[in-house]
Chain A
Amino acid sequence: MYKKHSKILFSVFLLALVILPSTAVVSAQDTTEVGTPRATTLIVDQLDGRIDNPTQTNPYQAGTRFNQGLHQLAYSNMWEINTATGEQFPGLAAEMPEALNDDYTSFRITLRENLAWSDGEPITTADMAFTIDMVLNTPEFPYHGFLSQVVDSYEVVDDLTMILNTKRSEPRLGYTLGVHIWGDAFRLVPKHIWENEDPATFQNYPPVVSGPYTLTDVDPNGNWFLYTKRADWENTDVGQIFGEPGPEYVLFRFYGTEERRIIAGIQNQLDIFTDISPEAWDILRDANPNARAWHEDFPWANFDDPCERGIVFSNTQEPWDNQNVRWAVALATDIKSVGLATFAGILRVSPLAVPPVQVIHDAFHKPMREWMTEFAFEDGYQPFDPNYAVDIAAILADQGVEGLPADEDALVDLFGVGWWKHDPDKATEMLQAEGFTLENGAWHKPDGSPWQITINSPSNFEVQSQRLAFAVADNWRAFGIDATVQQMDSGTFWSNYSRGEFDAGSYWPGCGALPDSWDLLDAFWHKRHIVPIGQPAPGNAMRYDSDALSGILDQIAPLPSDHPDTIPLLTEFEKQFIVERPWLPMFGTSKFVPVITTYWDGLPTADYFYEGPWWWWSLFKYHMPFIQPKGDG
């Protein structure tokens, strides 16, 4: 009896294992899981993971998500940015804003002709006026606070022209209401749809949009979002500027952990990746011959992400309030070992407060290299090491890396202009001069207590900053400082930063995509943003109170980007920044954003550079006319 039972149980168990898989339907490769033809469906990695509220597409509600394609494809912006040239250009607008007075408080804004919403209604200044009024009258929107401080009044001149008066001087209105990095919150909505709804609670699904694609289907579980090309793509800014988008469908898809995304790429079920690690790229490259990173060969990654990474100090707290201490930890850092541990050395160093993206590298880093080499402390010590690029190339060549350039200029272009020396002896001397003591290999602060540093780091997001924190802590421990990394979820990570309740951290207050990064530098460094520790800071979370830095920023504020004094003043800012050392930038961001070329031609690469590979930025829609199905030419 029981013998039979056990056998039956056992066979049922085995049967379950065998039968369940075989009854399954394996979907064919020529259609996607959502039933569209694979050859005309571009599949894009969903940066933010699963979206639990997939049908919330009201662009002004606080909890609406955008990186699942909504702002990349469905919403066009007034002014966009071309990351290849580093310039803004008009999107829905016909021209850049035209200033009507010398104070930059009144502007003429014109819309492009023959634009239409995805339901066929024309896009006019009536929609723009409606959007402005709606935001100004809906205090529930987080953007309400922002816009009501910008817009004073407006006047509709005709269907395509509006005069906008601002509350204060806005020499950079293109930044304020258009895209600088990532995207912009000012998105036009169709009056004829929204005027009968309560904007605060309106779900807006399916949305009627201004972009070249419409959201036609979503996964109720938020794992995929399907966009379909508009039949009237000629009535969109993308169509008018660059022509017909190539992919018939774009599917944003979240596959899960990095392993699964890699496997998807190997199986040709993912065409475009967001951020992966260098190790993952190695695997993908070996397994799928059609995998292509930004560069054909080493270093593969794109170095033009607009924020640089490094270690931030809480500058009002001892010992970080001492300039020499900040300099000492810089010299105690072996930048080469940090780079190797972070991203296998595939990084471009940056000693400046702005990121080493190509346009900025050419405008600031390279011109300032000589000045930095000559730069000396009061005692005559020159801290700069201009040979970083040559040295790291030698180490990598030793490890068998191929395809490294030979001459120094090319190496500097690749790995950066140089960084601060690794000089523990000088660091020791500087610390001892400040009253620090080294006992049994461990540093003690002037008051005799052991010197402990806690470095805040992101946990499982922003991998480069996370790894950087661990690598720097490892370095500082070797120097004798008790440094530990404290990993934090994004909520804690940012609110500790904003409240100034941290010791050190791998934050990234060095961003910019254009040579004129005044807006971001001002937000990060101007002393007028400083609030006491414990209160959330609107800017300058490092609470660095410098008259010199703030003074230079005040001089730049009224100047438009193309003013001849703007760049020289920004260079002055950088020099002062190096002297005062209020944070320790290390590397630009290396983005491994590979593509799979099995089904597509024209994906952007270093050799075919019409736009940067920022699939999660609103500019992604301008890639579409360049991307064409294989075989169609």
Chain B
Amino acid sequence: MQFAKFVVTRIIAYILVIWIGITVVFFVPRFMPSDPVEAMLGRIMTRGAYMEAEQVEAMRATLTQAFGLEGTLAEQYFGFFQRTFVTREFGPSLSMFPTPVNELIGRALPWTLALLLSSTIIAWIVGNAIGLLAGYKSRWISSRTLEIIAIFVYPIPYYITALILIILFIHINPIFPLFFSVQGEAWSWEFVSSAVYNSVLPALSIVIVGFGWWVLSMKALSSSISEEDFVYFAKLKGAGEGRIMTAYVLRNAILPQVTVLALQIGAIFNGALITEILFSYPGLGTMTYNAVLQADYNLLMGTITISIIAVATSTLIIDLLYPFFDPRIRQR
């Protein structure tokens, strides 16, 4: 019963979070000094075509109507919710009119998910393993060395890591392709292998930057837990070192780390933005950045709405699974 009540309140919170988040993202760009019609007109006019005042006016009216930007803000707002949750589509992209946003996102999303989920999880596993060793067995040379490596690579900003990787592995020693280029039919061996091959460097830059933080935070957690009384008693009881490390230290230290991993999914968009731009990687990050630049409301709402729903859902799942991770927690 208690658990059922917890689930219900948590789901209500989940819906509230999504609603507030989407509302914020709906209104913020609309207070921006630029608007998509002007951005498009600017682009058309800087191409040098000469136009009279009336011609520009006519074109402006055409675009405003085609973009669906007529009507009050409230009408647009309800229109958006209706369109998104009833017909499940985000409308046409404004900067790439009339290509539908769904089509653009459908093409970019798998790339971003594949790159960022795999590299985030690799960084998490490697980082936590090293962090656990460093925290629990801090006198070992190997764990100290790994910890020091983590300290040194962790603070280097994404783009510096990326640039150094580009210089090392593309320029000086060209073992990776300069450009992102995937060959073959979808899901053929050639396609998959070239996709993986092309993704190694971007993934590596994320893993390098990501794993340092897991090492450091895991180390801090596990070393403080190692000093807890229950670990001390376990040692007195004669439990094996391996068992202490996994059953006592890891078990207690992993919970905050799982929480943060779930939250990391939200950071996917931030990581994606810079990494994807530097590696010309075909994902949502570059698309979102361009959408902001071009004031492409529909595309922006599409990418951000999807990310909000994805992150909110993953935190919801983590929350619901909490009691199974840590039976000591009794939901009220």
Contact = CB atoms under 8 A, between A and B. Distances in A.
Q: Do A and B share a direct contact in the complex (Cβ within 8 angstroms)?
A: yes
Interface of A: 1-2, 5-7, 9-10, 13, 17, 20-27, 33, 50, 52-53, 56, 61-63, 65-66, 139-146, 148-149, 175-176, 180-185, 200-201, 219-224, 253-257, 259-260, 263-264, 266-267, 269, 306, 489-499, 501, 511, 519-520, 523, 528-529, 536, 538-539
Interface in B79-126: 93-99, 104, 107-108, 111, 126
A52 B108 contact: yes
B290 to A, nearest CB: 7
Contact of A20 (B40, B42, B200): B200
B63 A62 contact: yes
Contact of B32 (A2, A254, A492): A492
B280 A260 contact: yes
Interface stretch (B168-176, B264-272, B310-318, B322-330): B168-176
Given A139-B62, A257-B278, A267-B174, 14 more contacts: A2-B242, A17-B204, A33-B181, A50-B282, A52-B104, A63-B99, A142-B44, A145-B59, A223-B181, A257-B277, A263-B178, A489-B34, A490-B293, A538-B52
Which secondary structure dominates chain B's binding surface?
helix
Interface of B: 32-36, 38-44, 46-63, 66, 93-99, 104, 107-108, 111, 126, 129-130, 133, 137, 142-143, 146, 163, 166, 169-171, 174-183, 193-194, 196-197, 200, 204, 240-242, 245, 277-280, 282, 286-287, 290, 292-295
30 contacts: A1-B241, A2-B242, A6-B129, A6-B142, A20-B200, A23-B197, A33-B177, A50-B282, A52-B96, A63-B40, A65-B96, A139-B62, A142-B44, A145-B57, A184-B49, A221-B111, A256-B179, A257-B277, A259-B166, A260-B170, A264-B178, A306-B48, A489-B293, A490-B42, A491-B34, A496-B34, A538-B52, A538-B53, A538-B54, A538-B55
A490 B289 CA distance: 12
A491 B295 contact: yes
A529 B53 contact: yes
Contacts of A497: 42
A412 B85 CA distance: 65
A142 B40 contact: yes
A253 B181 CA distance: 10
A33 to B, nearest CB: 5
Nearest to A200: B98
A13 B33 CA distance: 48
Q: Which 9 A-B pairs give the minimum distances between C-beta atoms?
A: A145-B58, A494-B42, A221-B282, A495-B38, A491-B39, A538-B53, A491-B34, A256-B280, A63-B97
A587 to B, nearest CB: 18
Contacts of A184: 49
Given A149-B52, A182-B47, A184-B49, A9 B177 contact: no
Contact of B55 (A62, A145, A306): A145
Contacts of A139: 62
Contact of B34 (A20, A24, A492, A511): A492
Contacts of A255: 178-179, 280
Contacts of A20: 196-197, 200
A221 B180 contact: yes
A223 B200 CA distance: 18
A501 B41 CA distance: 17
B179 A253 contact: yes
B48 A183 contact: yes
B50 A53 contact: no
Contacts of B170: 260, 263
Contacts of B56: 145, 536, 538-539
Given A491-B293, A536-B41, A53 B282 contact: no
B32 A538 contact: no
A171 B94 CA distance: 35
B62 A144 contact: yes
A491 B36 contact: yes
B280 A254 contact: yes
A62 B40 contact: yes
A21 B66 CA distance: 48
A558 to B, nearest CB: 15
Contacts of B48: 180-183, 306, 511
A538 B51 contact: yes
A266 B170 CA distance: 11
B166 A176 contact: no
A145 B178 contact: no
Contacts of A6: 129, 133, 142-143
B242 A498 contact: no
Contact of B169 (A10, A13, A21, A256): A21
B258 to A, nearest CB: 19
A6 B99 CA distance: 51
Nearest to B94: A63
A21 B178 contact: no
A21 B95 contact: no
Contacts of B245: 2
B33 A52 contact: no
A256 B278 contact: yes
Contacts of A175: 50
A536 B38 contact: yes
Contacts of B52: 149, 538
Given A146-B55, A490-B293, A529-B53, A61 B98 contact: yes
A489 B294 CA distance: 8
A491 B279 contact: no
A50 B286 contact: yes
A26 B97 contact: no
A139 B290 CA distance: 27
B93 A63 contact: yes
B109 to A, nearest CB: 12
- Of A1, A17, A52, A175, most B-chain CB atoms within 10 Å: A52
A566 B43 CA distance: 30
B176 A24 contact: yes
A6 B133 CA distance: 8
Given A21-B175, A63-B94, A9 B181 contact: no
A52 B290 contact: yes
Contacts of B41: 494, 498, 536
Contact of B96 (A53, A181, A499): A53
A119 to B, nearest CB: 25
Given A6-B143, A498-B42, A528-B53, A223 B280 contact: yes
A496 B293 CA distance: 14
Contacts of B42: 490-491, 493-495, 497-498
A149 B181 contact: no
Nearest to B170: A263
B277 A220 contact: no
Contacts of A220: 107
B77 to A, nearest CB: 21
Nearest to A462: B46
Contact of B292 (A13, A269, A489): A489
A50 B60 CA distance: 26
A67 to B, nearest CB: 9
A63 B34 CA distance: 17
A563 to B, nearest CB: 19
A5 B250 CA distance: 14
B126 A9 contact: yes
Nearest to A25: B197
Contact of B50 (A180, A269, A490): A180
Contacts of B129: 5-6, 9
- Of B108, B179, B240, B295, most A-chain CB atoms within 10 Å: B179
A538 B50 CA distance: 11
Given A6-B142, A50-B282, A269-B178, A185 B49 contact: yes
Nearest to B105: A52
